[in-house]
Amino acid sequence: MATISSAKLMSFLRKHQFEFLGSGLYSDVFAPAGSDRVIKVCRQCDDWPKYIFWATKHGYAGLHAPKVHSFRFIEDGRHSFYIASMERLYPLTDDARELRREVLWNSSKRAAPFHTFIKKLQQEFPQADDLHDGNWLCRKDGALVLTDPLRASSSSRDDLPTRMRAYDIAMLRNKQFANQKAYAKRA
């Protein structure tokens, strides 16, 4: 059985005309021409999946966090990485850049929902302080998105599934919304 590494996968994507959009400390992002989705290939596992799982579970994916359509961890003993299919994001517009500044300084009413999101995130993940410019992008409509706020840690990913498909992610979202409805009925 042939093994795949993140380097082989990225070579395959380049060979098949996927546009290289950019890279971060641990991952590269590629997109098929004209697509509204991208493929994120992590060269070395980090805590991004924990952030995405948390954001999806709490209703923030597609709002303040990226919307992920599917992801999968791949391990063969020597290589460990993940791939994700997610919404395509864009460089900050002037308005999104201004909102980011307001969020970081908690200086406006329009930034309040995002500031609340960051406070909840930091309660769950004390290392959620990687808020530099490169971790902020926006959607086509200009909505601000925090892409990867967790500093790398040596924490375990044992509590995460090894694979999530669109159906699994939808069920996770629906469970979260069902819990909100149940809570509203009790109140």
Mode of pairing for the β-strands spanning 27-31 and 136-138: unpaired
Domain ranges for the chain, please list them.
Answer: 6-186
> What would the mean pLDDT of 124-146 be, rounded to a whole number?
92
pLDDT at 115 over 70: yes
pLDDT at 120 over 90: yes
pLDDT at 182: 41
> What would the mean pLDDT of 139-146 be, rounded to a whole number?
95
Stretch (H or E) spanning 107: none
The pair of three-digit structure tokens given for residue 144, joined into one six-digit string: 């601000």
3-state SS of 13-72? HHHCCCEEEEECCCEEEEECCCCCEEEEEECCCCCHHHHHHHHHHCCCECCCECCEEEEE
18-61 pLDDT per residue, tens: 999 998 888 999 999 889 999 999 987 788 989 999 999 999 99
Question: pTM here?
Answer: 0.80
Alpha carbon dihedral 29, 86, 133, 81, in 10-degree steps, equals -50
Amino acid at position 46, single letter:
D
Residue-wise DSSP of 147-175: ---PPP-----TTS-SEE-HHHHHHHHHH
